[in-house]
Amino acid sequence: MKKRLLFLLAAMLLCRGLGYGQKLTEKHIREVMQQAYNQFKNSSGGANASYIPYLANIDPELYGIAICTSDGKVLELGDTKYEFGIESISKVFVLALAMQQRGAKAVEDSIGVNATGMPFNSVMAVELNPQRAVNPLVNAGAMATNSFIRAPGSAAKWALIDDMMAKFASRRLSVIQQLYASETATNLHNRAIAWLLYSYGRFYDDISESVDLYTRACSYGSSTRDLAIMAGTLANSGVNPVTKEKVIDAVLCPRILATMITEGLYDDTGAWVYHTGVPAKSGVGGGIIAVVPGKMAIAVFAPPLDKSGNSIKAQKTLQYIIDELKLNLLLPHG
Ligand code: GLN
């Protein structure tokens, strides 16, 4: 009788460890990371972003996976220390700053929070919506969000952005100057979008300064490790799991994650959510972050992109890890 009880107890503990809606073990997470790495390391397909010359020249073989658990463990595999262009992933954290400063409702009213279903630099997304509302995670919405942050001048606004990024990452990030120069020389389309929003009364500060701040934020260098910790802060209700510092109010996290669910992978977001059930955000630098609230965040970096501008290898890796660890948020809870 005693033996049977012990057996039952051992079986229960094993199931908990395997993460059937319960706590995942570090060993299991590491095994799954390694399996994904082995499986996709040599997979090919896609191409580096070429419309920003600096990005076209990044080694397409670079590959890193990092996971930050809500209790602050950072697990890494591959090129996780290499610093690459954060690009559109910065939009999530500038949005966090705007929401913290102006409130979630003000962002909803003044920028918009709905899905566009269109490419990240779409003009039609602005034209077709009668309120000219755009999601803060597409270029139009991100530049408008930048303009929505209040500060006594451009330098002061940059200081706010820089501090916010540092709190999320647990270290101060630096702008890759060559990337910033490369983007500034080629961002005419973004400038046109900003003027269009301005013509509809949906831009809230100096146009060229706001576009410049947006471009500079996209040009931050971040490692896969940095991104895992930054996203880990969103998974941990706004408290950085490594430094334990409160970065933003907990109530804002579900709102930010909702914009990732609707727009994180642009015109491919529907298919992404269909397959994974997890909010994610990509950047044309090759990074993608995925956030599983209360559990962990996963960041993957691999430069070659698909047509929507999302890293192909990072998507495959994330999908594998999410499946194996049963992280899909649309699975039954409990
Ligand atoms: N800086 C890039 C742009 O404005 C960001 C795009 C992206 O990562 N999807 O086009």
Question: pLDDT digits over 174-223, tens only?
Answer: 999 999 999 999 999 999 999 999 999 999 999 999 999 999 999 999 99
Note the pLDDT tens digit of each residue in 48-62.
999 999 999 999 999
Measure Cα distances from 222 to 52, 176, 313 in Å: 17, 9, 18
Helices (H), the chain: 2-17, 26-40, 53-56, 90-102, 104-110, 124-128, 139-148, 154-169, 177-184, 188-199, 207-218, 224-235, 252-263, 269-276, 312-324
Domains of the chain: 2-324 (3.40.710.10)
Q: What is the pLDDT of residue 14?
A: 47
Is the CB of residue 121 below 6 angstroms from any atom belonging to ligand 1?
yes
Q: How far is CA 274 from the centre of its chain?
A: 18
Is the CB of residue 120 below 6 angstroms from any atom belonging to ligand 1?
yes
Residue 14 is encoded by which pair of tokens? 């094993």
Query: Among residues 164, 154, 169, which one has the least CA distance to residue 252?
Result: 164
Is the CB of residue 87 below 6 angstroms from any atom belonging to ligand 1?
yes
What global pTM score does this model have?
A: 0.93
Rounded Cα–Cα distance for residues 70 and 327 (Å): 14
Regions of the chain where pLDDT drops below 50? 13-21
Q: Say if CB 142 and CB 86 are below 8 A apart.
A: no
Query: Burial of 14 by CB count in 10 Å (0-12 exposed, 13-18 middle, 19+ buried)?
Result: exposed
Q: What is the pLDDT of residue 31?
A: 98
Q: What is the pLDDT of residue 250?
A: 98
Bridge partners, 239 (sequence order): 246
How much distance in Å is there from the Cα of 101 to the middle of ligand 1? 24
Q: What is the pLDDT of residue 2?
A: 57
